[in-house]
């Protein structure tokens, strides 16, 4: 038997997360080890392993939230843009579809001549909650 899916547990409210958006089909929450502060994961509430497996009926709900999250992250954190990406099996740390939305600014160091991403955890839970609060507020702004 496979271990429980951590993203399903977050979507079901069984594990804590810093949620920035939740609706019937989609949950968006801060990545615990972000590429940059404000890095959000957008996941369908239903267990879907990859973007290849995403049912047509969830394309608009999931990617609509990805778009809204990109806009909210940029507003909330005053970033110049965002990076949106997903892996399909290779490098997919959790086998549940998740789309990364990362705030970007010129010179932020996310990309270099050698694509090496250094993840850094938030220093405190309150720093993480403050970031989540800003992004949640920007959804409605």
Local mean pLDDT, 10-residue blocks, the chain (141 residues) = 86 96 98 93 97 97 98 97 93 92 90 64 89 87 70
| Whole-number pLDDT of residue 140 | 74
Decide if 101 contacts 66 (C-beta within 8 A).
yes
Architecture of domain 6-140: 2-Layer Sandwich (3.30)
The domain limits of the chain are 6-140
Tokens encoding 39: 């890095």
CA-closest candidate to residue 18, choices 36, 35, 41:
41
| Whole-number pLDDT of residue 118 | 66
pTM of the model: 0.86
| Whole-number pLDDT of residue 69 | 98
Given the structure tokens 């609706």, which residue do they identify?
23
By the 10 Å C-beta count (0-12 exposed, 13-18 middle, 19+ buried), 57 is classed as: exposed
3-state SS record for 83-131: EEECCCCCCCCCCCCCEEEEEECCCCCCCCCCCCCCCCCCCCHHHHHHH
């Amino acid at each position: 038997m496979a271990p429980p899916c951590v993203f399903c547990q977050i979507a079901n409210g069984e594990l804590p997360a810093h949620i920035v958006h939740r609706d019937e089909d989609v949950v968006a929450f801060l990545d615990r080890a972000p590429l940059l502060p404000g890095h959000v994961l957008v996941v369908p509430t239903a267990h879907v392993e990859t973007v290849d497996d995403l049912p047509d009926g969830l394309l608009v709900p999931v990617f609509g939230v990805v778009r809204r999250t990109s806009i909210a992250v940029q507003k909330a954190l005053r970033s110049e843009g965002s990076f949106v990406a997903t892996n399909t099996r290779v490098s997919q740390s959790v086998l549940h579809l998740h789309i990364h939305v990362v705030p970007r600014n010129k010179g932020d160091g996310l990309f270099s001549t050698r694509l090496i991403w250094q993840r850094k955890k938030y220093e405190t839970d309150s720093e993480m909650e403050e970031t989540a609060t800003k992004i949640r507020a920007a959804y409605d702004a």
